[in-house]
Amino acid sequence: MTKKRGISPVIATVLLIAMVIVIALIIFLWIQELGGETITKFEGKNIELVCGDVEFTAEYSGGEISISNTGIVPLFNMRVKIEGDKTYSTKNINEMGDWPGTGLGQGGAFTSSGASGIIGSSEKLVLIPVLIGTSSKGERSYVCREEQYGYDIII
């Protein structure tokens, strides 16, 4: 006849404390991630609000995309959403030409002659501004929301 034995109370207590610590750490990291990191521009203004100040014009003609910055907010980059037959792809504008390394400042203009090969037979382009700001971790880029700040070009 064998005796059935469970784990000792000390080991059970250590295991319970370890599980509580791990669960608390997971919850702490999850909540910290929800808060996100604040990126600011122009002396502490939240970069999401700066997106509303972005002004630019754009057109597509003969395989070229032309963009002019008509506002005071420099455009660090531009994301291009290429929409076709129920599909889409997203590219950065610097993949289509020589986008200035420092971005497109006030009054700046950009023309990409290599866009036709990337765009192909798409029906619509959506240009989404990308800004650069500062955070606790240094300079960070921020993509403005497409729904509010996207610029549609019908091809």
Q: What is the mean pLDDT of each run of 10 residues along the chain (155 residues)?
A: 77 95 93 74 83 91 86 91 85 79 88 71 87 86 91 86
Q: How high is the pLDDT of residue 35?
A: 67
pTM here is 0.71
- DSSP state string for 39-90: -EETTTEEHHHHGGG--EEEEEETTEEEEEE-SSS-B-EEEEEEE-SS-EEE
Both tokens of 98, joined, read 């020589």
Q: What is the pLDDT of residue 56?
A: 93
User: What is the per-residue pLDDT for 136?
Assistant: 80
